[in-house]
Amino acid sequence: MTTAIETKALTKDYGTGRGIFDLDLTVQEGEVFGYLGPNGAGKTTTIKLLMGLIHATKGSATLLGLDADRDAVALKHKIGYVPGELPQFGGWRGSEVVAYIAGLRGDLTDGEVEAVAKRLDLDLGRKYREYSHGNKQKLALLLAFAPRPDVLILDEPTTGLDPLHQQEFYGLVRDARARGTTILISSHVLSEVEHVCDRVGIVREGHLATVGQLDQLAGMRAHRIDIVFAGPPPIERIKAIPGFEQVAIQDHRVSGMFRGEFEPLLAALASSRVTKFESREPSLEEIFLGFYK
Partner 1 sequence: MREGGRPTTVGRTYERARPAKRVQVTLLRLAVRSHRTGLLMTALALTIGGLLNSIGFAQIAGDNPAARALFAQQMELLGRQLTYLLPAPAQLDTMAGYLVWRWFGSAALIYAFWALLAGTGAGRGDEERGLIELWLSAGVSRTRLMAVRVAGFAAVAAVSIAVMLIGTAIGAAIGQEPLPLGPLALQGIAIWALTLVAFGFALVVAQLVTTRRSATGIAGVVVLGLFMLNAAARSGVDVGAVRWLSPFYLYERSTPLLRGGSLDAAATAALAVTALVLVVLGVRAFVARDLGGTLFRGAPAKTTVEWRPARDPLLRLPVLAIVDQQRVWIVAWALGLALLAAFLTSITKTMVDALGSSDVPVLRAYFERAGINAYADFVGVIWFSTLLLLISLFVVAQVNGWAADDNEGRLETILSAPVSRGRVVVERIAAVLIACTAVVAVSSLAVYLTATSTGISLPGGRFVFASAAVLPVAYAFAGIGHALAGWRPRVAVDALGTLAVVGYFAQQFTPLFQWPDWVSNISLYALYGTPMSKDDWGGIATLVAIGVAGTAVAIVAMARRDVGR
Give contact residues for partner 1 (rule: CB under 8 A): 48, 51-55, 72-77, 79, 81, 83, 85-96, 98-106, 108, 110, 113-114, 117-118, 123-126, 129-130, 143
Amino acid residing at 254: V
127: left (phi over 0), alpha (psi -120 to 50) or beta: beta
Residue closer to partner 1 (CB basis): 118 or 273: 118
Q: How far is the CB of 208 from partner 1 (least distance, A)?
A: 21
**Shortest separation between residue 252's beta carbon and partner 1, angstroms:** 28
Closer residue to partner 1 (CB): 54 or 247? 54
CB of 184 to partner 1, least distance (A): 14
CB of 149 or CB of 201, closer to partner 1: 149
* Cβ at position 100, least distance to partner 1 in Å: 5
CB of 261 to partner 1, least distance (A): 42
Minimum Å distance from CB 65 to partner 1?
A: 16
Q: How far is the CB of 47 from partner 1 (least distance, A)?
A: 10
Cβ nearer to partner 1, comparing 130 with 261? 130
Instruction: Name 82's Cβ contacts closer than 8 Å, sequence gap at least 6.
Output: 137, 140, 141, 143, 144, 152, 153, 154, 155, 157
3-state SS record for the chain: CCEEEEEEEEEEEEECCEEEEEEEEEEECCCEEEEECCCCCCHHHHHHHHCCCCCCCEEEEEECCEECCCCHHHHHCCEEEECCCCCCCCCCEHHHHHHHHHHHHCCCCHHHHHHHHHHHCCCCCCEHHHCCHHHHHHHHHHHHHCCCCCEEEEECCCCCCCHHHHHHHHHHHHHHHHCCCEEEEEECCHHHHHCCCCEEEEEECCEEEEEEECHHHHHHCCEEEEEEECCCCCHHHHHCCCCEEEEEEECCEEEEEECCCCHHHHHHHCCCCEEEEEEECCCHHHHHHHHCC
Q: Which is nearer to partner 1, 80 or 282 (CB)?
A: 80
Shortest Å, Cβ 95 to partner 1: 4
